Structure 1
Amino acid sequence: MLQRIFAPERFTGWHFLAIMLGWFGIVIGVNLFMAWNATSSWTGLVVKNSYVASQQFNEVTAEKRRQLAMGWKATPAYEAGTLTLDMRDAARAPIADAIITAKLGRPSYEADDHMVQFAETAPGIYEGRTDLTAGVWNADVTVTGAGGDVWTRTLRFSVR
């Protein structure tokens, strides 16, 4: 039976038409799927206006250098609904009496973004309550020290 179907003398224009429609149907289907994924996931937008951001490059760079010179470090840890930040200065001393907020979200998906406020539970140890699912998370941390110094950093961590 198969020999009769695939025999060279039996290949007709209808066979060719079916093969072409099947091939283009697959190509168009894959393209539609990829277009839907591209429009329903992360936009890739980092700044709203790249020209304005480029005009502020020198100021932003100077601010980042000032923050790096402070030598502050934040170490995140997540367990049982609590995100903990261990804040240390350049001498590894705890940074106490700071006000800390963070915008938590996935690196490439904006639907899970939310804000967390941290409270100091011990010198240099700050905790914020939040429910995070397994995977990779970013925390855009803003720390205002007791002296008014502002420090920002994006921390990436994993939740198991």
Structure 2
Amino acid sequence: MSANTQKSREFTGRHMLATILAFFGVVIGVNLTMATLASKSWTGLVVENTYVASQQFNRKAEEGRAQAALGWTGRLTIAGGEVRYSLSDAAGKPVPLHGVKVLFRHPAYETEDKTVTLGLASGQEFAAQHTPKGGVWIVEIDADAGLAEPYRDVRRIIIFHGALQ
């Protein structure tokens, strides 16, 4: 007769410590991953009063359609610590502007918002010194082209290493 003797493994305090550390390590790792993904991808927009915003929607949509009918195209460049903007008509000719204001809005943090007034640089191109922080931004450009309302150009952009991507 052969004796089949197997030594049973004992569950010790060290095993329990490793199990607990592994469990909480996984939980903390998942939480950090989800928080990082959420902070980098959330682009929600919050308005102060949803009722007022809903009442203004139709008027803003009509203004947008009238502006789109002009066929104008805005050109925004951000590089080397400088923001530049120009506007051209449907034929590609520069539209004379009297002034340009650019609002950089961070989708998640209002404290990061900054308004930059561009000055005439050359021809009909306006420029100013500004380097937005890297990340996603909503850029609202109001260009005074002599119309009843400023020409409004709104874009969602990505800044990487101080340049528009």
Q: TM-score, normalised by structure 1?
A: 0.70
**Which residue number in structure 2 is paired with residue 127 of structure 1?**
127
Alignment of 1:119-158 (within 5 A): 119-132=119-132, 137-155=137-155, 156=157, 158=159
Equivalent residue, structure 2, for 1:86: 86
What percentage of aligned pairs have identical amino acids? 25
Query: Is the CA contact 1:95–1:123 (under 8 Å) kept in the aligned structure 2?
Result: no
- The separation in 1 between residues aligned to 2:62 and 2:52, in whole angstroms, is 17
Structure 2: runs of 5+ lacking an equivalent? 1-5
TM-score under structure 2 length normalisation: 0.68
Shift of 1:110: 5.0
Residue identity matched to 1:9: S
Counterpart of 2:9 in structure 1 is: 10
5+ unaligned residues in a row in structure 1: which ranges?
Answer: 1-6
Specify whether residues 134 and 65 from structure 1 end up closer, same or farther in structure 2 by C-alpha distance, changes over 3 A only: same
Match of 2:25 in 1: 26
How many Å separate the matches in 1 of 2:28 and 2:17? Answer: 16
The separation in 2 between residues aligned to 1:135 and 1:39, in whole angstroms, is: 13
Cα distance in 2 between the residues matched to 1:59 and 1:130: 32
Give the partner amino acid of 1:78. I
Cα drift, residue 35 of structure 1:
7.5
The alignment's C-alpha RMSD in Å is 3.5
Q: Name whichever of 147-156 and 63-72 sits farther off.
A: 147-156
Deviations 1:49-75 (A, max 9, x none): 444433333222212111211222111
Is the CA contact 2:82–2:131 (under 8 Å) kept in the aligned structure 1? Answer: yes
Tell me if the contact between 1:76 and 1:157 (Cα under 8 Å) persists in the aligned partners. Answer: no
| Count of residue pairs brought into register by the alignment | 154
* Alpha-carbon distance between aligned partners in 1 of 2:114 and 2:19, rounded to the nearest angstrom: 49
Tell whether the 8 Å contact from 2:47 to 2:53 is kept in structure 1 after alignment: yes
